[in-house]
Amino acid sequence: MGIRTSSRIAGIPHYEPGLTMAEVMAEYGLESVVKLASNESPFPPLPEVKAVIDEGLGGLNRYPDGAARSLRDALADRHAVDRAQVAVGNGSCELIVHAGVALLDPGTTVIHADPSFAMYPHLAAEAGAEGIAVPLAPDGGHDLDAMAAAVDERTRLVIVCNPNNPTGVYRSADEIERFLDLLPDDLAVLVDEAYYDFVSAPDRGRVAVLARTRPNLLVTRTFSKAFGLCGLRVGYGIGSQSWIRALDAVRQPFNTNQLAQVAALESLRHPAAIQARVDEAISERDRVSAALREMGVPFTPSHGNFILMQPPDPGSEARVLHEALLKRGVIVRDGSALGCPGTLRVTIGAPSENDAFLAALAAVAGIHQHS
């Protein structure tokens, strides 16, 4: 007999993390593997960032700054907002979960797209609220009109993932602004821009500018992807003061650890080095996309650091292809774990990792790869 738990727990979808490199090596008897499954950066933190982490180790007997003042000030500067318009969290994921805790009650709803990031159904269930999952438009992007139409008096939160994970489809700032104009000013909207850095569109970043003045908008960003700090867990939100107050009310006092704070702050001091990494990820995304096109592999053109693809042979199963790639030491994500059965999601890695993926894909799918 176990402990008695909240009735809400049963409704929380189980999140299946991808396989670790060690698990795959042990299972398939491999000496090395390439992991392209979790949309991580292939680059370690910058040397200057490693240095401040090293320096910070000696101070870990002290609690961190609970208000993350230095980091929030730097982010406030970057986004031309007041510090009171910045939230910092243990990954942007924490801020997303906190949005659910702070805004939802039983009987209320949160509207999000489907398929999209796995945490969104989680926060509805955790709060005992109802998640309204609005199917994506045929192009794999948010159906913003359908999402606006789903809003009613029970709606407390609307989440837009832009670019969307797992499809990588981007909605322009104009489209988002038009969508915001359809909604009441007191209805909270969270635009999750975890993959913002990889967007190849001239209006990239404009939604965060809207968040300076819109009373109901929060834009979340992360140091996990372009900045390569996912192991430390640090993300942030820019939004109205009422959004930030709501998030602050539910967080624990020391939610962002000390090393995460100094590492994120130092990363912000090296924009050119970070941009060079992003540029490489985008050019590798273009190269992998071109190779898939040449191989006749159907995929969704992406603005993220990942690509959602289908098996080249319509008769073959994504599950089987996933397993065949694992046997060759290439870990990608099975789309069925992401709400996209019949697909695979591959993260853009370092050039050699992408080569390994393309070679393995060509071999297992029986495709002749042109060089």
Task: Give the binding site for ligand PLP (CB under 6 A).
Answer: 39, 91-93, 117, 161, 165, 192, 194, 222, 224, 230, 235
Secondary structure (3-state) at 71: helix
Q: Which two tokens stand for residue 121?
A: 């159904």
Q: Which two tokens stand for residue 130?
A: 């109802």
- Shortest distance, CB of residue 225 to ligand PLP, whole angstroms? 7
| Residue 194 or 263 with smaller CB distance to ligand PLP | 194
| Residue 292 or 338 with smaller CB distance to ligand PLP | 338
| Residue 224 or 343 with smaller CB distance to ligand PLP | 224
- Shortest distance, CB of residue 313 to ligand PLP, whole angstroms? 29
DSSP 336: G
- Shortest distance, CB of residue 91 to ligand PLP, whole angstroms? 3
| Residue 264 CB-half CA count within 13 A | 32
| Residue 235 or 239 with smaller CB distance to ligand PLP | 235
How far out from the chain centre does Cα 47 lie? 25
How far out from the chain centre does Cα 249 lie? 24
- Shortest distance, CB of residue 93 to ligand PLP, whole angstroms? 3
Q: Which helix (H) or strand (E) holds 300?
A: strand 299-300
Q: Which two tokens stand for residue 20?
A: 């670790």
How far out from the chain centre does Cα 36 lie? 14
Residue nearest to ligand PLP (CB): 91
| Residue 93 or 344 with smaller CB distance to ligand PLP | 93
How far out from the chain centre does Cα 63 lie? 28
DSSP alpha helix (H) spans, 172-317? 173-182, 206-210, 241-250, 258-268, 271-295
- Shortest distance, CB of residue 134 to ligand PLP, whole angstroms? 16
| Residue 240 or 256 with smaller CB distance to ligand PLP | 256
| Residue 223 or 357 with smaller CB distance to ligand PLP | 223
- Shortest distance, CB of residue 363 to ligand PLP, whole angstroms? 29
- Shortest distance, CB of residue 231 to ligand PLP, whole angstroms? 9
Residue type for 324, please?
Answer: A
- Cβ atoms of residues 102 and 123 within 8 Å: no
- Shortest distance, CB of residue 189 to ligand PLP, whole angstroms? 15
% helix / strand / coil in the chain, to the nearest 5? 40, 15, 45
Measured at the alpha carbon of residue 205, what is the angle toward residues 157 and 260, in degrees to the nearest 5?
A: 75
| Residue 125 or 364 with smaller CB distance to ligand PLP | 125
User: CB atoms < 10 A from the CB of 344, how many?
Assistant: 27
